Structure 1
């Protein structure tokens, strides 16, 4: 039995970008693409049907992408509350990075990018299960169960030359004190 097609929701900054991304992503026969013009349409759809991946744009009009994703994560009425999210942006700033992490955005891709690159990232995200889905809910920025890394300790330098092999040996005759006259 074949696996059902995965639903990819796209909400981009303009209709031309949405159409281009939808065309490339729909090239994979295992994916169904749903393009949304507004956040209201997206939320209404997510109340009725599951979404396997959300691609949103930071540069679109209206509410910022991180606020939209936070709203999705906190809305218990949605079928796909823990959907993996890939966001697109023209540039990323430290505050935007922090907002994306705290909202639960899984990946941010800098525009301009190849639509094929976005397709590859979607396929990779769908192959590896999202940690959000495994844990049964969004856990915040520490959702990856990172291991503690020991603090690096400085390596003491060797002061002795007992194991130094001279590259060019000294071929002069040794001088002995007291024998020189």
Structure 2
């Protein structure tokens, strides 16, 4: 292991399994971590989101998995977390495909499989010091950049997120202007969240338009409209009180009210076409207000490309699902018609046979 000094590094271990938590604590203790806090549940560790966020967090995903990932997403995305860039490793005994997807989508740095050896733990920590990925920020994600290739039409810059684990372990803490680094990174995140949030709102409005315009509004369109309020709320809490951005607050609140109005109209069975068009117009105005230096034409083109790509992916999934259903139905029909594969009559017995040549 390279010559790192962990005597100034703080860590937290969130794990309801006492023996496993002690294993992690002993490993970090032998590495000379300064402070190691143990928590037996995510709820008991919620204070880490408001004060004293450590440089490294290990969080178990085998207990209340939903709580675990809410914690990870809150740590990465809530605006007032002291260090939302802290090194974060999820631990598990059962690495299912669904869990792997949630780890990636929540913004964790890594996944560590139990049981663990001291070397495995050390290697993952060294990896966070030496090879941590840059962060990307979208409307609903902040974390390591896991894209194999950026999607066409998107412009998402990569942030070299402050890594207090690296700064402390490599002896750069005293030289680094950590407060300045954090302020700069948090400012970047705030700006990106506003921009990506406004683009997401425009995306949802444009996607929903055809479905809202039908004589009976489509459920999918209503579901997408229903998501607008959450992105607006997140954008609003990232605006300073008063100042030059007050007009953005006004537009954002108007967009939210109109989205709620459309859902109310849909519940009554009739959606006003003028209100649907107005929602798209106001959503685009919100994009322009949040990012006035960028061409509205370019932003609108990006939204349209994203909607087109999303519709194509939905269609591909629908076709794949239909094809799988047809294959399953054909197999079931074939089994019924073919005596060699049909179930034997009641009262008979079968014996296993060796596979054919």
Normalization by structure 2: what TM-score? Answer: 0.36
Question: Is the alpha carbon distance of 1:70 and 1:141 closer, same or farther for their aligned partners in structure 2, counting shifts above 3 Å?
Answer: closer
2:77 is the alignment partner of 1:74: yes
Q: Is the 8 A contact 1:52 1:83 kept in 2?
A: yes
Give, in angstroms, the shift of residue 106 of structure 1: 1.5
Q: Is the 8 A contact 2:59 2:90 kept in 1?
A: yes
Structure 2 match to 1:41? 44
Structure 2 match to 1:165? none
Structure 2 residue matching 1:88: 3-state secondary structure: strand
Structure 1 match to 2:119? 116
Cα offsets for 1:7-62 (capped at 9, x unmatched): 11110131221122111111112553221223233221342213111111111246
- Greater strand fraction, Structure 1 or Structure 2: 1
Structure 1 residue matching 2:50: 3-state secondary structure: helix
Give, in angstroms, the shift of residue 123 of structure 1: 2.8
Structure 2 match to 1:177? none
Structure 1 match to 2:110? 107
Q: Hey, what's the Cα distance between the residues in 1 that align with 2:148 and 2:13? A: 30
Q: Hey, what's the Cα distance between the residues in 2 that align with 1:9 and 1:23? A: 13
Q: Which runs of 5+ in 1 are unaligned?
A: 149-181
User: Which of structures 1 and 2 has the larger relative contact order (alpha carbons within 8 angstroms, sep 6+)?
Assistant: 1
Structure 2 residue matching 1:33: 3-state secondary structure: strand
Any residues of structure 2 matched to 1:85-96 within 5 Å, and which? 85-96=88-99
Moved over 3 A (4+): 61-64, 127-130, 135-142, 144-148
Structure 1 match to 2:145? 143
Structure 2 residue matching 1:85: 3-state secondary structure: strand
Normalization by structure 1: what TM-score? Answer: 0.65
Structure 2 residue matching 1:59: 3-state secondary structure: coil
Give, in angstroms, the shift of residue 126 of structure 1: 2.7
Structure 1 match to 2:228? none
Q: Hey, what's the Cα distance between the residues in 2 that align with 1:141 and 1:51? A: 17
Q: Give the alignment partner of residue 25 of structure 1, picking from 21, 24, 28.
A: 28
Q: Hey, what's the Cα distance between the residues in 2 that align with 1:43 and 1:140? A: 19
Q: Which runs of 5+ in 2 are unaligned?
A: 151-357
Q: Hey, what's the Cα distance between the residues in 1 that align with 2:9 and 2:115? A: 25
Q: Is the 8 A contact 2:106 2:141 kept in 1?
A: no
**Paired positions, count:** 145
Give, in angstroms, the shift of residue 82 of structure 1: 2.2
2:75 is the alignment partner of 1:83: no
User: How much is the aligned-residue C-alpha RMSD, in angstroms?
Assistant: 3.0
